Amino acid sequence: MDQSADPAPHLLQGLRRLAHDICASSRVHGSGLTEVVCGTTSLLSFGDSAVSYCGQSIDDLTEQASFERVLWLLLHQTLPTEEELADSCSILADSAVIDQSVLEIVSHLPVSARPLDVFPFCISLLSFFDPTPQDNSPDATRSRILRLLAQLPIILAAGCGATFEESIPRPKGMSADETELSWAGRLLHRLRRSTERPSAAEDSAMNTLMICQCLTEMRPACFTARFAASATTDILAALQSAATVFGSQLRNDPYLWTSELLQNFRDPSQAEAWWRRREGQPMPFGFSNSNDDLRADILAETVLTLLGSADRIRLAGCAARLEKVLAANLFFPTADWVSTKVMTLLDIPPERQAIVIGMARLVGWSAQAIEQQASGHSLLPRLNYGEPEMS
């Protein structure tokens, strides 16, 4: 056979590489998954300066200020009847009991443990006490989420006790005062500095805060919840994964920074002087060149319901002065900034405020995980593998 008719080895190698590159270019969208649309959601929509959850206006949802109602809406994608809402509230109340052995485990956590790191740990720990671990039906999944929401405030308060007076009793179940509070009010009662039961205005403000914070556009924790849900039937695995990413991203906790900043100002003039000294540096957190999210406006109205003391008026005045100065440069407060104001006025310690946001987002992650599982779509992308160099 005439060997000269065989193609040269270097030509074969070049053709193989060309074919590989052509195939790879048809699969890869730019760099990584940036700009790739991974699905469509009916949970959250943005209109002309309006925000809707499952087609329900955020304005209407916060007018009733019932986070339990929004919880049902997100998990079922329809508003509850009075009977369904009552049943859901009963489950949240009846499930608010923690086994003593769980609290003993939490008591051995290091004093230096961040509340944000305790958050995913508590989700994992409670999963071991799931009464129906093998049942992953939609109804069982929703019940599992309700039990988790009922128990987390208790275990988180116990796990983050180093920041509180040790003399404050933290019962392993609901106290008599808590039975008259909403779920959001009970969360506030557990996490704030005082043992005094939240007032009706504070309970309502906490509900509004949780409603405004529970759903966001696609962020790493949201995607993590969806990806884990597409790869497993275990909703708690999806929530733990999302909580871990959420906490890891807040290694430099912006809610803590903002709350401490506002509390350290003596008066509005000092707040303005602090900003002027920054000499044009951007605000590290809480402001955007867009003011089209109605949730920030709703939370700003909520602030006005909490000005019941001189200290609260001073803090709100300092924040308002910063907002006015920044507005002159066309920067406007975000829902995160105003949420921090609300939480600080509610006397939630700065180091625990991110936990409140995480608890609200937990409901949104749950809804996104359920929606992703129902779609049946995989979120596992392909990966191009390098070829060994050919001599």
Model pLDDT for residues 106-152, shown as the tens digit of each residue: 988 888 889 999 999 999 999 999 999 899 999 999 999 999 999 99
Looking at the domain assignment, is residue 382 inside a domain? no
Looking at the domain assignment, is residue 47 inside a domain? no
Please, what is the Cα angle at 207 between 340 and 72, to 5 degrees?
130
**Residues 199 and 343 sit within 8 Å (Cβ to Cβ):** no
Looking at the domain assignment, is residue 34 inside a domain? no
Looking at the domain assignment, is residue 277 inside a domain? yes
Looking at the domain assignment, is residue 153 inside a domain? yes
Q: Is the pTM of this model over 0.75?
A: yes
Which pLDDT value is given to residue 62?
96
Domains identified in the chain, total number: 1
Which pLDDT value is given to residue 384?
81
Q: What is the CATH number of the domain that holds 132?
A: 1.10.580.10
Looking at the domain assignment, is residue 304 inside a domain? yes
Which pLDDT value is given to residue 6?
67
Which pLDDT value is given to residue 21?
63
Which pLDDT value is given to residue 49?
62
Residues 6+ apart with CB under 8 A from 7: none
Looking at the domain assignment, is residue 2 inside a domain? no
**How far, in Å, CA of 267 to CA of 360, rounded?**
31
Looking at the domain assignment, is residue 363 inside a domain? yes
Please, what is the Cα angle at 183 between 182 and 187, to 5 degrees?
115
Which pLDDT value is given to residue 194?
79
Range of the domain at 80: 53-167+176-377
Low-confidence ranges of the chain (pLDDT < 50): 162-169
Residue 133 Cα distances to 147, 236, 362, 373, angstroms:
13, 10, 19, 17
